[in-house]
Amino acid sequence: MEMNLLAELKHEDSVSALKPVFLCSGIPTALVWANTDELREESYRIRYEVYCRHLGFEDEQKYPEGQESDRFDLISNHFLVQDLETSNYVGTVRLVEPGLTASPLDAIPLESVYRKEYEQSTYCPAAQRSGSYLEVSRLALLTHAWQQSGTYSSELARLLYLASLAYFYSLPDMKRIYCLMEPRLAYRLNRIGLPFDQVGQLIQFKGDRAPYMLQRSGCLQGLRGEARSIFSQALAQMRRSNIRDSSKGG
């Protein structure tokens, strides 16, 4: 996979607080923090297209405005990837973080689905201190991104996962990332240097899924070369943008 860092765009407005530019299969692509209602709606529209219309995981009738959203969005940060040739947003991910706001929500989506035991009781999200963990959730890429080329969608997904890691690592109190995913996805993430460990049993939830966890200690050891450069650039941008402080004000 090729995703070479080109340069950093310089913008004055808050919407473009994050704008490192990458080449994904030769297409200039930017990582954008969805820090406005308009940008969050872009994220929800992508999710609707993917999870409702394309995959059929969610009921289209529940979202007449064409925006798939749920209660966990109240305690989430959202990121988009933007095709800079067309200015279209082509993918998104959300990071669900209990303690992000004053919302009474104190759980993550994983807990509403996974009811079995964990390999160790200390792995259970409910055993963690609020503000010390998050869940990577609702990663979605529009269908045309999968049809663009053999590597384009993989590179977009990699950018979103590395951005998620950068956000996690920018917060000193964060200790663990959770994700409910297929084993084959966990395998691919491990190959790019994101050591997610399976911490529970496989369940049937829209296919085979299991809870996975990445711990802060040692989470950067496997990042090499291009992946390390992407992560470092995203981390620098997030630290300059004070994402969590700004989010709490919204």
Each residue's pLDDT tens digit, 83-132: 898 999 999 999 999 988 777 777 899 999 999 999 999 999 999 998 99
β-strands 133-141, 176-181 pairing? parallel
Rounded to whole angstroms, the Cα distance separating 165 from 142 reads 22
Rounded to whole angstroms, the Cα distance separating 40 from 70 reads 12
Each residue's pLDDT tens digit, 23-66: 777 778 889 999 999 999 999 999 999 999 999 999 999 999 99
- For residue 218, the enclosing domain spans 5-248
Rounded to whole angstroms, the Cα distance separating 69 from 91 reads 15
Using the 8-state DSSP alphabet, how is residue 192 labeled?
A: T
Give the residue, 142 or 238, on which the prediction is more confident.
142
Q: Among 149, 144, 212, which residue's Cα sits nearest to residue 177?
A: 212
Rounded to whole angstroms, the Cα distance separating 30 from 21 reads 5
Q: What's the pTM value of the predicted model, to 2 decimals?
A: 0.87
We report the CATH number of the domain holding residue 71 as 3.40.630.30
Q: How many domains does the structure of the chain reveal?
A: 1
Please report the DSSP string for 113-147 in residue order. Answer: H--S-BSSGGGSGGGSPTTSEEEEEEEEE-HHHHH
